[in-house]
Every structure is written in structure tokens, then in C-alpha cells.
Amino acid sequence: MNKLIFADSAGPAFQRIYNNSHFALAALLPASLVSPQRIYNNSHFALAALLPASLVSPQDGTIAKVADVGLAATITVHNHIALNYVISDYVPRALQVPVRGGVLALSALTAVGLTKLALSGPGIGGAVKELWKKK
């Protein structure tokens, strides 16, 4: 089922890359654990755990830093997979490859920005807390 969903959301070139990487990952993990649909579904649980941990823990603590780095990775992966599903549903097939390239660039920028915020700034939780801070 996941291969059918992924085949519809990606072109043949992406499907070949996915299948080749799938065999390499299959030695480490069962194939059902590394499908995009499975990763997307499980990222909801990671977001549900990491966001409160980032908001509740002290801003300069280790737990906040770990939660913020986890949030940066999870938000990036979650959004990247979700936007690829949107592309497969709403973008004409002839334009899907360049639009997917744009989404990949946007995902890379998101990862860099959120990781920088998590490591050298106030953190993702700290930035959210500052929205409600009295001046």
C-alpha cells in the first residue's frame, strides 16, 4: 500500500531512487518502518512530545536544546513529506519535478534556520515564549 501511495506522489526517477535506498535501509530496518507515509504518521507523535518539552523546560537547559534540535528535524521532515503530498495532488505532472526541487530547497533552508535558532538562538520553544512575553 505504501509503495502505491508513494508511486502516485513521485515520478519514476524518484521511485527508482526510493527503491534503491530502500534496499540499503532494509538491512538496518524493516521496510515498513522507513516508508514516507510511516515517517509522516510517526512525526505527529514526535511533535506532540517535543513541543511541550521545549516550551516547559528552562530555556538554557539540556532538555530544551535536545527538544529544540528534535523539533527542527521533525518539523522539517514533516513539512517536506506533507508538501510533496500536496504537489502530487494539485500540481500538474509536467511541473512536479521543478516544484519538488523548490520544496527540497525550502526544506533545506527550513532545516538550517530552525537548527540555527535551536543551537545559537533562544531555541524554538524560547522564540514561541517570546511572543507572549510582556514588554
Q: Is 111 domain-assigned?
A: yes
- What is the C-alpha separation between 15 and 61, in angstroms, rounded? 42
Full domain range(s) for residue 106: 39-130
Q: Is 13 domain-assigned?
A: no
List binding-site positions for heme b.
78
Q: Is 67 domain-assigned?
A: yes
Q: Is 91 domain-assigned?
A: yes
For residue 81, give the CATH number of its domain: 1.20.1300.10
- The angle, 0 to 180 degrees and rounded to 10, between the axes of the packed helices 62-90 and 36-56 is 140
With a cut of 50, say whether residue 1 has pLDDT above it.
Answer: no
List binding-site positions for a ubiquinone.
90
- The proportion of the chain whose per-residue pLDDT surpasses 70, expressed as a percent, equals 76
pLDDT, tens only, 44-98: 999 999 999 999 999 888 999 999 999 999 999 999 999 999 999 999 999 999 9
List binding-site positions.
78, 90
Question: Using 50, 70 and 90 to split pLDDT, how confident is the model at 135?
Answer: confident
Query: Could you give the C-alpha distances from 70 to 4, 73, 74, 75, in angstroms and in order?
Result: 29, 5, 6, 8
What per-residue confidence (pLDDT) applies to 8? 52
Q: Is 26 domain-assigned?
A: no
Our count of domains for the chain comes to: 1
Q: If you average pLDDT over every residue of the chain, what do you get?
A: 85
